[in-house]
Structure 1
Amino acid sequence: MTPAARLQAAIEMLDWIIAAARDNGASADNIAKKFFKERRYAGSGDRRAIRELVYSAIRRWGDRPESGRQAMLGLVDEQPELREFFSGAHYGPAVISADEPVASGPQVPSWLTDRFAGPIDENERKALFDRAPLHIRINGQRAADGDVEAAWPEAVGLALPHAYELPAGTQLEDKALFREGTVEIQDLGSQAIAMAGAAAKPALTLDLCAGAGGKTLALAAMLPAESKLIAADTDRNRLSRIEPRKRRASARNIETILLGPGKEMESLDHLKGRCDLVLVDAPCSGTGTWRRNPELRWRMTPKRLEHTTELQQRLFALGSALVKPGGRLIYAVCSLLDAEGGDQTDRFLESHTGWREISIDLPIGRPYRKGLLLSPHHDGTDGFYFTCLEKL
């Protein structure tokens, strides 16, 4: 493909992504897979160049552009070499008109700027849009740190036990440690939340919003084999991904429960007041994961944020009813917005008596509003807020 044709392809892919963001459709990564599947003539170099153009535009614009062409035109001033490809030649985009709308504005949507937990200075803003590192966690019950270092000599140890960073693009699938479930890809922030949950050695743990089970598996690797873990979620497809993962990891102490949306307690009533630990890794805006999924900025609106925080409140309260006296509740979000983090903890404690904050002793993170705050610049992790509360 010519450079002009690559640019036109990037514009077309951006049109798909913009529409999906507006209509709550597929993720940008899944759209890219479908896009290239329909264009098998695009070679590996073409695909790489097109992706680079697409994600440059996504990372640059905080507010969702009206079209892919508008998004790419906005990059012309910063990447003037693009201008020559807007000629209509060589299967490229049409010539630029003088009155065409052009994407503009900051990287962080203006309506969110004042809602972050702490100020977003230039270093933190830059880190929010850097490429995410590749973090792995090894199951210390099945392998030693030396095994990882032998398999990947370039691995760099991180602040938490059994946590490593690998160079971007490292292939894991060809290593027995990964195929056998001894190594999992997991951001250091997620590992920190699991470690906080495992600190009191809970005998019965419920992961209320388990998704594909990343934190459930991490907890299983940190807890005695006789511990019992329950992974629950309302999304059948995501929950089904736990089964092959737990078989790979030989985690026989995990069971799953599919919940009905809005009717979760019908399936969890038998756990009321019985759990030593309940983890509520609540659905959120994903502001802490922008470096992985920058198009999330284009999906979030004030109305959607309001609906999300209402769901978080409900799940926070639901999880608390399942904790036994002396047990613990961890509320976590991969968000850096106060509305989803510290505000939710304050609101819960104001409306629920008989709970106390537990200090979280970890080598990363900053104490923040009865919890801990992790961020890309400060900790090298995705952005997280989480709190640990004990039921009196």
Structure 2
Amino acid sequence: MTPAARIQAAAELIDRIVAGEAAEKALTTWGRTSRFAGSKDRAAVRDHVFDVLRMWRSTAVKGGGEHGRARMLGLLRLRGIDPDTLFDGKGHAPAPLTEAERAAGRMPDGADAWDLPDWLADRFRSDLGEAAGPTALALRERAPVFLRVNTLKCALAAARDRLAAEGVETAPHTLSPTALEVLSCARGLVRTGAFTDGWVELQDAASQAVVDLIPPEGAGRVLDFCAGGGGKTLALAARLPGAALFAHDADPGRMSDLPQRAARAGAKVTVTRQPEGAFDLVIADVPCSGSGAWRRAPEGKWRLTEDRLTDLQSIQADILATCASFVAPGGCLAYATCSVLAAENEAQVARFLAERPGWRRGPSRQFLPSDGGDGFFVCCLISGRA
């Protein structure tokens, strides 16, 4: 496919998304039915579609319309690319621009420039203050790719050297002593020996920093209550090699490959459907808006509603209450979200502590995309029960 044909394919896929089809479904169906598209074509088209999803409002404003062609036109203009070099009608390229298209479009401002729904733009202003604008703008860009070096098997320098020998350039990152930012060949990572031998795992740097912040003292029995795919579970296993580590999730299917990944990493993890007994450390990385990770899943910011946010807060409070019952006296409950919204973060912590006078607040931090990774929040809640 030519670069112009990729633009046309992305525009057609965006039209399907505008009509209500999920982006991943549209891309998967297109990839299966477009035998002419090679792996580089599919990757390029996917990048175009996700760039538009991250910049849904500003591309429409700059392109002068809501449909796929206008949004791709807007994306090119925002990127400083002359649309006439791609909208030339040759082969499978988009048709040349009309005079009306040339005249349409303006520079986005306000919530359009931030690429947020109006109600979320208001939340960002009230919750983040001066950081609202930089955070919103950061979420319009592609996320970096990070690796976590598995210290059960190697040191960071050794992992970096091995990756370099396999053609993958990396750099250490200040958010975590185990984090490497991938600078080249990100799409070939899973085929490297460093990955298949369990030396490195794909994990955002801020997600690693969340685990780094949790106090390790006295953590003999550890429960990852909302384990999901197991990224933080394996990070905990490397940080607490002597601990008995248990992983649980309300949807056990999400942990289906965790035993295999743990074996590859040289970690011992017990997957449990029903946790039993008391734990010195419980981590609850709860379901949330995902607002801190909208660079990776940009549809989320357009699908989130105020009612859904309220529902999520109720779910989070229930999970916190359940997890508190598993914490041993003097133990730690690490509450975490990949959200930048106060309603899911500080407000939940304040409610929890107000209802449980015997508990106290330990280390906490709000990570923002401006720190280099995704947006995360973590607060360690210490049990004072005798």
Q: If the TM-score is normalised by the length of the shorter chain, which range does it land in? A: 0.7 to 0.9
Q: Distance in 2 between matches of 1:182 and 1:74?
A: 42
Q: Which residue of 1 is the match for residue 326 of structure 2?
A: 322
Q: Helix, strand or coil for the counterpart of 1:118?
A: helix
- For structure 1, the 5+ residue unaligned runs are 259-266, 361-370
- Measured after TM superposition, the shift of residue 174 of structure 1 is 4.1
Alignment-derived partner of residue 309 in structure 1: 313
Give the structure 1 partner of residue 63 of structure 2.
none
CA contact (8 A) 2:229 2:254 kept: yes
Which residue is equivalent to 1:293?
A: 297
| Residue 13 (structure 1) aligns with | 13
Q: Distance in 2 between matches of 1:380 and 1:144?
A: 22
Matched, 1:195 2:212: yes
C-alpha deviation, 1:88, in angstroms: 7.3
Q: 1:144 to 1:87 in 2, by over 3 A?
A: closer
Q: CA deviation at 1:113?
A: 1.4
Contact 2:234 2:267 in 1 (8 A): yes
- Bigger helix fraction: 2
1:184/1:2 Cα in 2 relative to 1: closer, same or farther (>3 Å)? closer
Give the C-alpha shift of residue 187 in structure 1. Answer: 1.1
- Among 358, 377, 380, the alignment partner of 1:385 is 377
Local SS of the residue matching 1:276: strand
User: Cα offset for 1:230?
Assistant: 1.2
Q: Secondary structure at the match of 2:37?
A: coil
- Are 2:263 and 1:247 equivalent residues in the alignment? yes
Matches within 5 A, 1:6-155: 6-18=6-18, 25=22, 28-29=23-24, 31-62=26-57, 67-69=67-69, 71-72=71-72, 74-75=74-75, 78=78, 81-82=82-83, 90-91=91-92, 105-106=112-113, 107-116=115-124, 117-119=127-129, 120-153=131-164, 154-155=169-170
What secondary structure, in the 3-state scheme, does the structure 2 residue paired with 1:9 have? helix
Q: Is the 8 A contact 1:189 1:384 kept in 2?
A: yes
SS in 1 for 2:15: helix
Contact 1:149 1:155 in 2 (8 A): yes
Match of 1:178 among 184, 192, 195: 195
Query: What corresponds to 1:156 in structure 2?
Result: 171
Contact kept, 8 Å, 2:163 with 2:192, in 1: the verdict is no
Letter in 2 for 1:11: A
TM-score with structure 2 length normalisation? 0.82
Deviations 1:29-85 (CA, angstroms, capped at 9, x unpaired):
564244212201123454344234322321212599865346446547646744786
Partner of 1:238: 254
AA partner of residue 121 (structure 2): T
In structure 1, C-alpha distance between the alignment counterparts of 2:3 and 2:208, rounded to whole Å: 42
Q: CA deviation at 1:350?
A: 1.6
Q: Deviations over 1:146-185 (max 9, x none)?
A: 3113213443222332322221433333433321212111
Letter of the structure 2 residue corresponding to residue 132 of structure 1: A
Which ranges in structure 2 are unaligned for 5 or more consecutive residues?
61-65
CA contact (8 A) 1:62 1:298 kept: no
Q: CA deviation at 1:5?
A: 4.0
For residues 287 and 60 of structure 1, what CA distance do their matches in structure 2 show? 15
Q: What is the CA distance between 1:132 and its match in structure 2?
A: 1.8
CA contact (8 A) 2:51 2:141 kept: no
Tell me the percent identity: 39
**1:62, 1:255 → 2: CA distance?**
45
CA–CA separation in structure 1 for the residues paired with 2:143 and 2:247? 27
Deviation at 1:321, TM superposition (A): 1.3
In 2: Cα distance, 1:338 partner to 1:48 partner: 35
Matched, 1:214 2:202: no
**C-alpha spacing 1:135/1:30, structure 2 compared with 1 (3 Å):** farther
Report the RMSD for the aligned CA atoms in angstroms.
3.0
> Which range is displaced more, 303-312 or 39-48?
39-48
CA contact (8 A) 1:194 1:219 kept: yes
Partner Cα distance (1:357, 1:81) in 2: 54
CA distance in 1, matches of 2:280, 2:26: 41
Q: Report the counterpart of residue 376 of structure 1 in structure 2.
A: 369
Aligned amino acid, residue 15 of structure 1: D
**Contact 2:152/2:267, CA 8 A, preserved across alignment:** no
2:351 pairs with 1:347: yes
With the length of structure 1 as denominator, give the TM-score of the two structures.
0.81
Residue 330 of structure 1 and its aligned partner are, at CA, apart by 0.7
Report how many residues are paired: 362
Inter-partner Cα distance in structure 1 for 2:138 and 2:76: 23
